[in-house]
Structures are given as C-alpha cells and as structure tokens.
Amino acid sequence: MQSTAEFMEWVEGRTPGEVEFHQAVAEVMSSVWPVLQRNPEYAEAKIPQRMVEPERVISFRVPWVDDTGEIQVNRGYRVEMNSAIGPYKGGLRFRSDVNLGILKFLAFEQSLKNALTTLPMGAGKGGSDFDPKGRSDAEVMRFCQSFMSELFRHIGDHTDIPAGDIGVGAREIGFLFGQYKRVANEFTGILTGKGSTWGGSLIRPEATGYGVVYFADQMLKTRDESIFRKSCLLSGSGNVAQYAAENVIRLGGKVLTMSDSSGFVHDPDGIDEEKLAWIIDLKERRRGRIGEYAEHVGCEFRAGERPWAVEGAEVALPCATQNELSGQDAKLLLANGVYVVAEGANMPSDPDAVRRFVDARILFGPGKAANAGGVAVSGLEMAQNASFATWSRDKVDSRLLGIMVDIHHSCIRAAAEYDRPGNYVVGANIAGFEKVASAMLAQGVV
C-alpha cells in the first residue's frame, strides 16, 4: 500500500456500505501513516490490514414475544475485533439503527481506546437493532433473555466481556446477567457495569462522564486553566451526559444545555445538582423526554435541534452519538468562542468538524481518549471480580483520574514524537496503534 487513499480503497472494496467503519478507519490510518513509514516491520507484517479485519463476527436471531403476544424478530451481533492485548472488551448497543458497519466502527475505535487505558483489554462490540425506548420492563427482560440465550456461549471472563452502551444501562445489564447465570450455571464477571451489590464496581456508572471532564480539565491545565467557572454545552442526557454534567458541577463549572433525540433544553442559570437529579430520575426511572425538564424549570426547549448554536460557553461536550456535530456546527462553536471540545460519545464530530477543530488549534479531545474512563473502570471491575474484592468509591475515582491523566500524557507524548504537538487526534491514534501493533507483531501471524 502506497498511501492512505489506496488503503481506504482496499478497505471500502471489502466492506461496501459500512460508512461509519470507513470513517473511523480513514481517520486512524491518516494519523498512523508516519508510524508505518518509520517502522516498516508493521507494514511488512500487514498489521493495518489485519487490524481492520475482526477476529470473529457473530450474528444471530433474537426472537421474543411482545406484550400483545406478537412474535418479534431482531438481529443480535458480537464483533470480536482484537485480542492482542487482552480478552475482547466493549459494550453492547441496543438501538434501531444498529448494523454491522456501526458495530465495526465502534469495535475498531474500542481497540485503540482500550489500549490507551493502560489496562490489558482487547476489543469487541455488540448489540442489536432492538430499541428499548417505548418498551415495557417485561418486554426488555424477554428480549435480553433471548439475546443472552445465544450470546452466552461466546463470552467468558477470560474470553469476551461485554458491558453497556447506548440503550443498555443498569436494567438491561441486570436482565442479561441474570440469564447468563441461569444458563451457564456460574457466577462470574462476564459483564461489567453490574449492580454494586452483585459484583459491580463503584463509580462504573459515573466513569465515562467523569472521565470526559477529567480529560477536558487536563487539556485546560496545559494552558494553566481548569473547568472551574467554565460554561459547558452538553449534548445527550443518558449515562455519559448525566455524569459528565455531575463532574462539571463538582469541579465548579456550569452546564447550560442537555438534549435527547427530541431536542435540547437551554437553562442559562445552569443545571445544578438538584436539577440534574431531576433529569436523572426523568431519564432512568420515568423514562420521559427532555422537554419535560424545560416545563419543570421554565427554561427554553428547542424541538429537533442540537445545542451547538447556544452562545456564551467555552466548552462543548458532545455526549449523545456518532456524527451529531457537523462541520457547520464546529464553525459556529468556534465563532462563538468555544475552545475546548471533549468527546463523551464515540465519534460525535464528523470528519469536517474534526478538521476544523484541529486547524483552529483548540483543545480537542477525541472520544477514544476522552471517553476511555468508562471502559477503564470496567477493567477495574474485572480486577475486583478476579480477586473477589470491592474497592471504595475514593479508590476507584482516584484510579480513574490517574488513568485519564496517563491517557492525556500518552496523547501529548505521541503527538510530540511525530511533530504534531498538541494534536490529540494524532496522539491518541498513534499511542493506541503502537501498543496494539507491537503486541500483534510479537504474537506472529494469528
């Protein structure tokens, strides 16, 4: 392969239609091209070609009966992407748009993200086109039981350890774990994100969101600043957004916006701890829409829009989903004075937006670095399960902070080493790639 373009032509030819996967691979390959130039042994061993081919893809039928007695058929997947540095590890996503291309993009990102955490975790991702939204608890349970009735034979605490992602939270993990235990007849740490009374780690629910804000704070520290007194535009209102908001508030910043697929709310007074507790209850227990918050506090709700045009913020934390922030949005954010963007979601900024942020030399933390705190604490949950131990909140939170500091360091170091100082996109891609690539090289052609 002579160029990134030639490599991408080859990838696209083998995986037609997997557009999100192509997007993720193209960004990584353009970052790591200089590494391949400097280390010809990687290209000779065809490391890039092997890295974009999952080690195994499992696809299965998930039949279940809804509350009206009708039979429903969904499709389940597990993409076992890379096990060079540890067992497959990564979440399950339940959402109607889930397809193989989306899961391969997520699994590929996960392989570099997990490498950055400093913990021994390979990469996987899975899920289904089932959407829990609007479904009763009983329907979600029956779906989860059917899903796990097939998945159980492919996972294991030394093989593949799924967790949550969009549409898979505490409720779904509970049902999935219950069914695993029933069919496998063993109580082991085959999932992370478990409840704290049955093998889960304290701080795991908070970890992704807390980590994003720790990462933003680390980036700000390179300019002798911090999150303290900064105003933040946040998108999303699920697990990542909830705890990103909590950490912004904890560190003395202000949260102006939150959103869901119906639109966003703008609270110029700031969403404080009490208001956030109301939102968490709305989303986790009442399973309502974000517009209800605007009615509750008397602030603005903008249906069908995203929060990127709101003025008066320095920080943006996209915590909803892939490609939720376009080049036009990025232009607006930059024009409005935003100079810190840390991605809580996976690949929320599209390629045009990333280019604009990088060219403007703002503090831009890509998802695979900024949101790695979630999977990092999953790794800590695995360590606790393996040693039959339970660590305190403070211990897990300080380990999380330490890991985010280390990831930040690795990005800075790799970017500087390849003459792109301050470029966290290049830094994260290179640091993650080098770790996985060197392990693959050492292990031979497998």
List residues binding ligand GLU (CB under 6 A): 89-91, 163, 165, 192, 346, 374-375, 378
Mutual angle of helices 373-386 and 393-417, in 10-degree steps: 130
What is the C-alpha to C-alpha distance for residues 277 and 88, in angstroms, rounded to an integer?
34
| Residue 90 CB, nearest approach to ligand GLU (Å) | 5
Q: Which is nearer to ligand GLU, 91 or 132 (CB)?
A: 91
User: Which single residue is written with the structure tokens 């693959």?
Assistant: 440
Annotation marks residue 435 as catalytic: no
Give the pairing type, strands 231-235 and 300-303: unpaired
CB 264 within 8 A of CB 348: no
- What is the number of the residue whose Cβ is closest to ligand GLU? 91
Task: Write the CA distances from 327 to 216, 248, 324, 347, integer angstroms.
Answer: 21, 25, 10, 13
Fill in the amino acid letter for 354. V
| Residue 181 CB, nearest approach to ligand GLU (Å) | 19
Query: Computed over its alpha carbons, how large is the radius of gyration of the chain?
Result: 21
Give the pairing type, strands 263-266 and 254-260: antiparallel
| Residue 162 CB, nearest approach to ligand GLU (Å) | 7
Q: Which is nearer to ligand GLU, 92 or 315 (CB)?
A: 92
What is the C-alpha to C-alpha distance for residues 118 and 410, in angstroms, rounded to an integer?
10
User: Which single residue is written with the structure tokens 């082991």?
Assistant: 188
Q: Which is nearer to ligand GLU, 198 or 228 (CB)?
A: 198
Q: Which is nearer to ligand GLU, 209 or 263 (CB)?
A: 209
- Residue 29 phi/psi, 5-degree rounding, is -65, -40
Q: Which is nearer to ligand GLU, 117 or 231 (CB)?
A: 117
| Residue 42 CB, nearest approach to ligand GLU (Å) | 25
| Residue 428 CB, nearest approach to ligand GLU (Å) | 13
Q: Which is nearer to ligand GLU, 306 or 368 (CB)?
A: 368
| Residue 106 CB, nearest approach to ligand GLU (Å) | 7
Q: Of 125, 194, 283, 435, which residue is the catalytic one?
A: 125
| Helix, coil or strand: residue 369 | helix
| Nearest partner of 108 among 316, 364, 322, judged by Cα | 322
For residue 443, give every residue at least 6 positions away whose Cβ sits within 8 Å of its Cβ, in sequence order, or none: 84
User: Would you please indicate which residues are annotated as catalytic (active-site) residues?
Assistant: 125
